[in-house]
């Protein structure tokens, strides 16, 4: 069966759409009210859909690029971090949860940097993928915030955020353990 050829830039284009959503979410969360909250939630939904499609097209058409490897995770981390930080002064998310999630992302990114310097790739595990899903659903619910169709989206968002927090810590510990196993000699090296 012949594989259909797609432009190698399609995943990068989807990542660029995700990056373009960040300032829109930032702007919307500077205002109060149902409309602005809904627009922010729609942008976050669009961003997470592009993230799924980006990965799908990159794998299916073997169009993984160096730029994509850098921009894809960066776009995700910036979107999540900016959204969470903007939700703190609105009283929609506790600052300590945001701090834990952002610190985990910085730590894992640092470990990835050390690993890539040594030409080692420690792949993201399933826990990290589940973490991303729950973070996305939590942020959508927390951005919507208001009640629609009898559903209190803030409560739903907070429930998803608690699950995301557990998965964030768990996947961070898992990543550190994998890093330690791969770099056992370097890890215990003394100067």
Please report whether residue 26 resides in a domain.
Answer: yes
Cβ-proximal residues to 140 (8 Å cutoff; 6+ apart), any chain: 41, 44, 45, 48, 157
The answer, yes or no, to whether residue 190 has pLDDT greater than 60, is: no
More confident residue, 159 or 109: 159
Q: Looking at residue 88, which CATH number applies to its domain?
A: 1.20.120.1760
User: For the chain, what is the domain count?
Assistant: 1
Q: Tell me, yes or no, whether 129 lies in a domain.
A: yes
- The token duo for 184 is 């056992």
- Domain that includes residue 109, residue range: 10-181
Residue 190 inside a domain? The answer is: no
Q: Quick one: average pLDDT of 135-147? A: 91
**pLDDT single digits (tens) 23-51:** 999 999 998 889 999 999 999 999 888 87
Residue 2 inside a domain? The answer is no
Query: Does residue 130 belong to any structural domain of this protein?
Result: yes
pTM reported for the whole predicted model = 0.80
Q: What are the backbone angles phi and psi of residue 190, rounded to the nearest 5°?
A: -110, 150
Greatest pairwise CA separation for the chain in angstroms: 62
Give the whole-angstrom CA distance, residue 38 versus residue 50. Answer: 18
Query: Does the structure show a pLDDT above 90 at 53?
Result: no
Residue 144 lies in a domain: yes
| Lowest mean pLDDT, pick from 134-138, 167-171, 185-189 | 185-189
Q: Would 139 be classed as within a structural domain? A: yes
Token pair 């550190």 is at which residue?
Answer: 176
The reply to whether 188 falls in a domain is no
């Amino acid at each position: 069966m012949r594989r259909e050829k797609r432009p190698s830039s399609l995943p990068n284009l989807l990542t660029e759409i995700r990056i373009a959503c960040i300032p829109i979410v930032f702007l919307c969360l500077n205002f109060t009210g149902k409309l602005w909250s809904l627009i922010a939630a729609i942008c976050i939904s669009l961003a997470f859909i592009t993230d799924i499609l980006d990965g799908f097209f990159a794998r299916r058409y073997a169009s993984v690029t160096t730029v994509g490897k850098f921009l894809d995770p960066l776009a995700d981390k910036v979107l999540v971090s900016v959204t969470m930080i903007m939700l703190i002064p609105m009283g929609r998310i506790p600052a300590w949860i945001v701090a834990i999630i952002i610190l985990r992302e910085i730590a894992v990114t640092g470990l990835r940097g050390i690993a890539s310097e040594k030409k080692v790739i420690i792949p993201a595990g399933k826990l990290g993928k589940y973490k991303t899903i729950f973070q996305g659903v939590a942020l959508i619910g927390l951005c919507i915030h208001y009640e629609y169709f009898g559903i209190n989206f803030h409560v739903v968002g907070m429930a998803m955020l608690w699950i995301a927090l557990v998965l964030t810590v768990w996947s961070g510990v898992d990543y550190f353990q994998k890093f330690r196993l791969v770099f056992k000699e370097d890890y215990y090296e003394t100067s």
